Amino acid sequence: MNATSGKVVRIGGASGFWGDSSLGPVQLVREGSIDYLVFDYLAELTMSILAGARMKRPEEGYATDFVAVALRSVLRQAVAQGIRIVSNAGGVNPRGCAAAVQALADELGVPVRIAIVTGDDVLALAPAMRAAGAVDMSSGDPLPEKLVTANAYLGALPIARALDAGADIVITGRCVDSAVTLGVLLHEFSWPADDFDRLAAGSLAGHIIECGCQATGGLHTDWAAVPDWANIGYPIVECHEDGSFILTKPPETGGLVTPATVGEQLLYEIGDPASYLLPDVTCDFRQVRMEQAGLHRVLVTGARGRPPTGTYKVSATAAVGFKLSAQLTIVGVDAAAKAKRTGEALIERGRWLLREAGAADFLATHVELLGTESAYGPHAQPLPTREVVLRLTVTHADRQALVMFSREFAAPGTSWSPGTTGVGGRPSVAPVLRQFAFLLPKEQVEPTVMIGDTTFAVQLPPAKPQVAPEPLASAAGALPARPRKTVPLVQIAWGRSGDKGDSSNIGLIARRPELLAVLMEQVTPERVKEYLRHLVQGPVHRYELPGIHAINLVCEHALGGGGMASLRNDPLGKGMAQMLLDMPVEVPENLLPELPA
């Protein structure tokens, strides 16, 4: 595939999650010269948050910022420019989101046609799924008796059909993150549903921009080389009919677009790059290639595709108790020791109170000393510190038990350690919604589009037989035995980590092609498992992406349950790549690159 002349569709990625900056849509609409504005709001953790919001108020359950902040700032200008908008901000209540968008459009005097994609809510099927033996994809646990939500990850075809029907704004519930982009491309280029290479390429374009500025220098390993964080540019993909695309950003914005920054985002949370499963296509990203095509312009080619599976992944949540998390700051000599003792005393007092009330013990407790590298486990560097943040988290089956315990978090300010400060009042108690993921046959789900007074079902293409990925020879060459030098991994690789449920995904890209051999030799699953043994409880799997000289590591049972169920300060594993990049590796001296200044 090559970026050729002809029709080009420019799509701006305005949001990477619910809570992203309000800068994205304004920047892209004013300066991006885009045809479409797409928003991704629905991280797995976000679905849990939205489910919790709907439990409190049935009219909520969607990403309210999409309406109150994003659209309010750009809707009038977007409509004037003919920019169409696609968003999964509907969460667990897409109809409520659409009603709020219509009310805003009426207020602004802007005529819009709004389409709603539904069908992802499969909660009514939960009893039958449980009876059929559905189990969690990660743990193998049976489904709980009572689920709060159950949403199938729909694909891009319903979005394309909504655009075909003339929608100016498309609002979906749960769909795969990349579908908001692929749906646009299916509509614009009329790609056949069985042109799997192009569907994989379009999905990759969506995957690259689905996390906002993570593709334009955000979270980049060489962060000091990324200019102007305050005005970092949001991503734009210039897509061609053959599936190739160029990743760029609006002019005169900050950030950095290079094969390294884009490559880090390619690896983000993809699991097995030979079989990245999506509802419309099974993607193979192993031979994807990236090349600098101008200042802040990276050409991406080489995605391959195969038929999708016959199932949807379903993300479900179940209430499993309540959680309370609070922080105190301890200042002065021996701050870490004082903080540790404070945490232990709080838990001891809490247990005494529970016994006095005739209540059960905490389900779980977790104490972290932020500022002491406690998350690094055996790799922490015990430097003296005179300021520590004590973070204490507990869970319990009874909300009132934690409400009682919450009253104790002000007491350390006068009772125990000198230098105790930063008490922000009583911490709040929140429900814990554990995530479950399982598979559901596609024929049990009916995606539906509603636009105006018209409602129609979206027919999926006939299933095709599954095809195994082609085996690839490793691109890693042989290495000389000596002389070698021991250096931290960061000196030869860029890295990024993310989550999938309770698994951590750590992607590593060799800084030069010949250094891939070092990654293959030195960064083995066994060694990664040992180095991160204080965090990773399950096996580690390694995959190679020779096209961008990279490896992808999937660490199972690594996030303490993941999402809202985790008690950790880093429940999504955002810091795990940073930890691994400290791991020492032996590198032939003639291959050692210099880190950027």
**Residue span of the structural domain in which 405 resides:** 333-418
Residues 337 and 305 in one domain: no
Residues 230 and 290 in one domain: yes
Residue 102 belongs to some domain of the structure: yes
Element (H, E) at 434: strand 429-441
Residues 275 and 412 in one domain: no
Residue 406 belongs to some domain of the structure: yes
Residues 18 and 164 in one domain: yes
Residue 149 has pLDDT above 90, yes or no: no
User: Of 284, 299, 17, 10, whose CA–CA distance to 177 is shortest?
Assistant: 17
pTM, full prediction: 0.95
Residues 236 and 348 in one domain: no
Residues 449 and 398 in one domain: no
**Alpha carbons 436 and 423: distance in angstroms, whole number:** 35
pLDDT confidence band for 4 (50 / 70 / 90):
low
Backbone angles phi, psi at 224, to 5 degrees: -65, -20
Count of domains for the chain: 3
**For the residues 570-587, what does the mean pLDDT come to?**
96
Amino acid at 202: G
Q: Where are the alpha helices (DSSP H) in 116-224?
A: 126-131, 157-164, 179-189, 196-209
Residue 465 belongs to some domain of the structure: no
Residues 43 and 80 in one domain: yes
Residue 315 belongs to some domain of the structure: no
Q: Cα 333 to chain center, whole Å?
A: 39
**For the residues 390-415, what does the mean pLDDT come to?**
96
Residue 425 belongs to some domain of the structure: no
Buried residues in 447-456 as b, exposed as e (16+ CB within 10 A): bbbbbeeeee
Residue 470 belongs to some domain of the structure: no
Residue 20 has pLDDT above 60, yes or no: yes
Q: Is 343 helix (H, G, I), strand (E, B) or coil?
A: helix
Residue 2: what pLDDT?
Answer: 47
Residues 20 and 113 in one domain: yes
Residues 105 and 211 in one domain: yes
Residues 398 and 537 in one domain: no
Backbone angles phi, psi at 203, to 5 degrees: -65, -40
Residue 549 belongs to some domain of the structure: yes
Residues 444 and 414 in one domain: no
Residue 17 belongs to some domain of the structure: yes
pLDDT in tens, 479-490: 887 799 999 999
Residues 237 and 370 in one domain: no
Least confident interval from 323-332, 342-351, 467-476: 467-476
